[in-house]
Structure 1
Amino acid sequence: MIEFYPQIKHVHIMMAVASGLLFALRGGASLAGMRWPQWTAVRWTSYGIDTTLLTAALMLLTILPGALFSNGWLAAKLVLLVVYVVFGVLALRRGRTRGARAGFYVAALATFGMVYSIARAHHPLGFGHGLLG
């Protein structure tokens, strides 16, 4: 399956971008009081993108099974992924006030940015590792 690694990685990257963009659009529209972010079709589109993203990630891990434990940056990405999901749920549905939802929205976007930074830099500190030495 190693021969499909470039294609699977490309799908993973494209789905990560699509997931982040859709979340940013849904969160911004939700905070603006629009109703379309809660439509069933939009939620199912999000679920489909995220399922494809997770499937591609798991396929990449099966191709390189030791990668998770040999690379600290992958473990950091996984931890921040959980944080991102929690912030995203609080921003879109569970935040009690509009201010709380806005704060969780910004926190989710910052977390997504850090996940992106870690993925690009292949370092647990992301792009910040260059600043620290």
Structure 2
Amino acid sequence: MDWYYLQMREMHALLAWVSVAFFLVRGFAFQLQAEWPMDVRVRTLVFGTDLLLTVCGLSLWGLMHFNPWYDAWLGTKLLALVAYTATAHWAMGRDEFSLLGYVLALLLLGYMMAVSFTRDPWLGL
């Protein structure tokens, strides 16, 4: 493997864990009625992390010549990403917290991470 692929893959994994940590911590803070989760600086940091994660993921996609039509795991991961974005926004995107949206978003995050590790959209079932 080329060094830039390995570095990009590690960066993508690190950004994914940071994004998950932000989502978990902000969700818990919302439940405790803290005011900082919707602070513009926090939201900018979260957006920047997610933007870098997306750019890195798309770069890996192009670098490895993956195709979501032929690589089913990637296609389902992208669909789960769209669903996660919608549920995460529902969970805490409008200065109010939705526990159902938060739990659904966490389930989708878990699914995306499992698909990333197994490269199997059915997760071995």
Q: TM-score, normalised by structure 2?
A: 0.91
What is the RMSD computed on CA atoms of the aligned residues? 1.6
Query: Which residue identity does 1:76 align to in structure 2?
Result: T
Structure 1 match to 2:11: 11
What letter is aligned with 1:71? D
Q: Look up the match of 1:68.
A: 68
Distance of 1:95 and 1:45 partners within structure 2 = 17
Within 5 Å, give how 1:107-122 maps onto structure 2. Answer: 107-122=104-119
Contact 1:12 1:57 in 2 (8 A): yes
For the residues of structure 1 that align with 2:8 and 2:42, how far apart are their CA atoms?
25
Deviation at 1:69, TM superposition (A): 3.2
Change (3 A) 1:68 1:3: farther
Q: Flag structure 2 segments of 5+ consecutive residues without an equivalent.
A: none
- Kept in 1: contact 2:38–2:95 (CA 8 A): no
Q: Which of 88, 102, 111 is 2:99 aligned to?
A: 102
TM-score under structure 1 length normalisation? 0.86
Q: Which amino acid aligns with 2:108?
A: T
* Structure with the largest fraction of helix: 1
Q: CA deviation at 1:66?
A: 3.6
Q: Distance in 1 between matches of 2:87 and 2:18?
A: 18
**SS of 1:70's equivalent?**
coil
Number of aligned residue pairs: 124
SS at match of 2:68: helix
- Residue identity matched to 2:73: W
Deviations 1:76-131 (A, max 9, x none): 100000111111001103487x5xx01110111111001111111110022xx1xx
- Candidates 120, 125, 133, aligned match of 2:122: 125
